[in-house]
Chain A
Amino acid sequence: KAGVTQTPRYLIKTRGQQVTLSCSPISGHRSVSWYQQTPGQGLQFLFEYFSETQRNKGNFPGRFSGRQFSNSRSEMNVSTLELGDSALYLCASSPTPQNIQYFGAGTRLSVL
């Protein structure tokens, strides 16, 4: 069974640009969560989607948004990038929101 797939693995952008990250969950998993991981802050919860609906949202500015498609694939978008957005962005999937989460390898975003 294939794991959680995140694309791209690496991204380099400049300040002010926008970026879209993609996540394909484990087959049969309908819940997708996104996290930002930085050395200083650890894992910070961004948002969670289930059945194309955002169920929970973390404490991030509106520049961070996401969506989920009918096939459970999810995308997150960051607009007007700032230097502080440089981080490892992780996607995790689970069969339902209350279940154990399984992570992808992450997308490493560098903002110059």
Chain B
Amino acid sequence: QKEVEQDPGPLSVPEGAIVSLNCTYSNSAFQYFMWYRQYSRKGPELLMYTYSSGNKEDGRFTAQVDKSSKYISLFIRDSQPSDSATYLCAMSASSGTYKYIFGTGTRLKVLA
């Protein structure tokens, strides 16, 4: 079983839809949770990060962490064609053996 699981998609939604992207993980030591956006042939760009449990909002983006369920989500409101990209979740643990683990990424396509 992988430490981080992420549905690869592709996920196609109409413009203006609310998008929900998710990752599950197995290592309870993870404390930092990140979301990256990667456009085709570019490097990943950090979108948001949260520490421990809870929600964080930034414009149209909301990140949620549920440590009890080992489940993280990224919500995109009022999705735009420019949001079409691959979204990677990542998580890290700072205690014990340090790890920075990525999901495989979910490909999102927002249709105009």
Contact = CB atoms under 8 A, between A and B. Distances in A.
Partners in one complex: yes
B98 A106 contact: no
B61 to A, nearest CB: 16
Contact of A97 (B41, B42, B98, B104): B98
Contacts of B41: 88, 108
Contacts of A104: 43
A61 interface: no
Interface stretch (B22-30, B44-52, B62-70, B71-79): B44-52
Given A98-B92, A100-B49, A105 B100 contact: no
B20 interface: no
Chain B interface category by residue count = 20 to 34
Given A100-B32, A100-B49, A101-B100, A42 B43 contact: no
A21 interface: no
A88 B34 CA distance: 21
A46 to B, nearest CB: 12
B92 A103 contact: no
A24 to B, nearest CB: 14
A45 interface: yes
A90 interface: yes
Contact of B36 (A4, A97, A103, A105): A103
A18 B48 CA distance: 37
Contacts of B45: 103
A5 B74 CA distance: 28
Q: Closest 8 A-B residue pairs measured CB to CB?
A: A103-B43, A42-B104, A98-B94, A43-B102, A105-B43, A106-B43, A103-B44, A104-B43
16 contacts: A42-B102, A43-B44, A55-B98, A56-B98, A90-B43, A90-B44, A98-B92, A100-B32, A100-B46, A101-B46, A103-B45, A103-B46, A105-B42, A105-B43, A106-B42, A106-B43
Interface of B: 32, 34, 36, 41-46, 49, 88, 90, 92, 94, 98, 100, 102-105
Interface of A: 4, 6, 33, 42-43, 45, 55-56, 88, 90, 97-98, 100-106, 108
